[in-house]
Structure 1
Amino acid sequence: MAEQLAGAGDLTLLKSKGGGFSLIEVMVALVILVIGLIGIFNLHIVAKRSSFESFQQTQAAYLASDILSRMKSNRTELADYSGTYGGLAAGETAPTSCDLVGAACNSAAMRVWDLYQWRWTFSGGAEVENGKSVGGLDTTTACIVVNDRNVDIVIAWRGIREMAGKVSSTSDCGSALGNRRRLFELASVIERN
């Protein structure tokens, strides 16, 4: 009978020990949970940065396509589109608009208007919030090279973080931006009239 009592006591001892969590187990679980939450938070930050960089790349592609289509519409001035362009300077006034109905614009005036509108767009003028231009790329430099019918358009802007390697490009457009320089290049051929 003594053996039966000893066995019964052991069972009650086991039942009381298996009923809950110790403080150490709870602390370990909390540490694992916090590490997981920090990882998820950092992943969210990386995803936001990547999304923003992708958005900027899309804007640069749009800007290059925009000026290319403007150049195709004004082929007689094709060579005069060549140059390096930055955003609009503070207080810079618009040239005579060629967008108005009935506006009498020759090819040269259309080129000046096209370049102004293009620079206005990459300065952020197309998107205004609380009176401030917010839609452009950061520190944009654009380079257009026209060689007979061949057109090279390079859009350079400042990215949000430095890149480890060098940007692989033959263009030095926007090279003053250093390791944060991002580039979009578009090469095309425009047939003359």
Structure 2
Amino acid sequence: MKPAHRSLRGFTLLEVLISLLILLIGLLGIAVLMLKGQRASFEGYQRQQALAMAQEMAEKIRSNQGAAAAYVTGTTDGPNMPGRGGLFTTYQALSDAEKCLAADCDAAHIAQNHLATWDGVLVGASETKDKDTATPLRAGGIIGALGCVERPDAAQPIFWVSVAWQGEGDTGAPAATASACGAGLYGTAARRRLVTLSVATCLPGDSGC
């Protein structure tokens, strides 16, 4: 007859380790899901911000339709493209009259100021860290934002307002027929994100233009 106490034995060390391993695998799975959720949330936030930035410029063009052509930037990246900070830095040094705050300006001048302030929005100039330093860190923009205004057909008063930026990971690349804004800037085409709004304006000479 076997001793009764053998049926009451506890867990062995091996069983405890196996249980811990199963628990660890489950926790790792939860962590991966949380990470993917955070990444998707951040991607959605950046897209929402980019759309708001594009809408802001679209409204400015509509409000100054007579000089709509003066907003065209093309898609070639450079220091004076919206999103690179150069236009906004120059704008900050202007007088109130040059900013059209203390005097009336012509439509083309207003367009240039609109592009400069849009540049500030794209680089996140409204939210900065280390404001007391000579070069404060701009923290309000989206990653690698670039703004572009195009006129696909010179015979038509239709303009594309685009904002491109860098995504967190590779996804489907923008369509080949889409704006070239930001093309080649973010490592791979699948990492480039893009929103484009089409803005219809009046033709010069039309009433209300």
In the superposition, the TM-score normalised over structure 2's length comes to 0.76
- Aligned ranges 1:117-136 → 2 under 5 Å: 117-130=117-130, 131-136=136-141
State the alpha-carbon separation in 2 of the partners of residues 120 and 90 from structure 1. 8
Match of 1:97? Answer: 99
Match of 1:150? Answer: 158
State the alpha-carbon separation in 1 of the partners of residues 116 and 60 from structure 2. 12
C-alpha distance 188-108 of structure 1, shift in aligned 2 (>3 A): closer
Runs of 4+ in 1 over 3 A off after TM superposition: none
- Name the one with the larger strand percent: 1
> How much has 1:125 moved relative to structure 2?
0.6
State the alpha-carbon separation in 2 of the partners of residues 56 and 46 from structure 1. 15
Q: Does 1:48 align with 2:53?
A: no
Match of 2:77? Answer: none
C-alpha distance 113-61 of structure 1, shift in aligned 2 (>3 A): same
- Residue type of the alignment partner of 2:71: Y
State the alpha-carbon separation in 1 of the partners of residues 108 and 158 from structure 2. 20
Residue-by-residue CA offset, 1:145-169 (whole Å, 9 max, x unaligned): 2343322112111222233x43224
Residue-by-residue CA offset, 1:42-98 (whole Å, 9 max, x unaligned): 222222222111111111101110001111111111122112333213993214223
The structure whose Rg is larger is 1
- Residue type of the alignment partner of 1:122: L
When structure 1 is superposed on structure 2, of 147-156 and 53-62 the one drifting more is: 147-156
Residue-by-residue CA offset, 1:90-122 (whole Å, 9 max, x unaligned): 993214223x3x432221221111100001110
Match of 2:61? Answer: 71
State the alpha-carbon separation in 1 of the partners of residues 107 and 57 from structure 2. 15
- Name the one with the larger helix percent: 1
Match of 2:173? Answer: 166
Choose the corresponding residue for 2:184, options 169, 176, 183.
176
Provide the alpha-carbon RMSD of the alignment.
2.3
Gaps of 5+ in 2: 75-80, 131-135
Give the SS at the match of 1:154. Answer: strand
Give the SS at the match of 2:86. Answer: coil
Q: Is contact 2:173-2:192 (8 Å) kept?
A: no
- Residue type of the alignment partner of 2:104: A
Gaps of 5+ in 1: 1-5
In the superposition, the TM-score normalised over structure 1's length comes to 0.82
State the alpha-carbon separation in 2 of the partners of residues 97 and 90 from structure 1. 13
State the alpha-carbon separation in 1 of the partners of residues 115 and 88 from structure 2. 17
